[in-house]
Amino acid sequence: MTMANTGGTAREQIREVKDQVVDQAKNTFQQARDRASSSLGESKSQMADQFGTVADALRRTTEHLRSEDQQRIAGLTETVARQVDQVANYLRTKDARAMKEDLENLARRQPALMLGGALVLGLIGARFLKSSERGRDARRIGQGRDGERRFGYTGYDQPFSGQGSRGGGYAGA
């Protein structure tokens, strides 16, 4: 075996290994994409079912309002039910790529609407985070660092007895 021949076979082996690695990476990426697509499809289907349930509830509300002779409000709930049903059908019939394209087109045509929607989503997210933080704090109120029972926000370890100085000054040191 000559030096040139050995270099040629080493290059071929490197190419083969590289091709195998690239093929494996492509297969892994495709499997991950398929799993994500399947998961997205299931979530989309569940969401469509939930919207369908809301539309059905709105239709029942419409019927009830009509039986109560509330025609104007019944008309509004019927319109909302149709719109919610359209959203459910949209989610059932469109794939993720088409939904992404529709959203991009909407953003190009109505940028103010998209900014407003982003603002609303941000406010809802902030409200959610704030409420979950309050719940965590509420569970912690009443216990000190050492697990000892504490009373109130004052930092004093004594319960409020309803008695005390009426002078309004600070009596402790």
Domain tally for the chain?
2
61-85 pLDDT, tens digit per residue, is 999 999 999 999 999 999 999 999 9
Do 84 and 133 sit in the same domain of this protein? no
Is there a single domain that holds both residue 65 and residue 126? no
Does 83 share its domain with 130? no
Assess whether 120 and 69 both reside in one domain: no
Comparing 10-19, 39-48, 115-124, which segment has the lowest mean pLDDT? Answer: 39-48
pLDDT band at 149 (very low <50, low <70, confident <90, very high): low
**What is the extent of the structural domain holding 84?**
3-109
For 15-58, the pLDDT digits (tens) are: 998 889 888 888 888 888 878 777 777 888 888 999 999 999 99
Residue 163 lies in a domain: no
Tell me what the pLDDT averaged over the chain comes to.
Answer: 79
Do 85 and 120 belong to one domain?
no
Q: What is the pTM of this model?
A: 0.50
Please give the residue that has the higher pLDDT: either 104 or 4: 104
* Percent of the chain surpassing pLDDT 70: 72
Domain's final residue, options 57, 89, 109: 109
**Residue 3, pLDDT above cutoff 60:** no
**Do 96 and 37 form a contact (C-beta atoms < 8 A)?**
yes
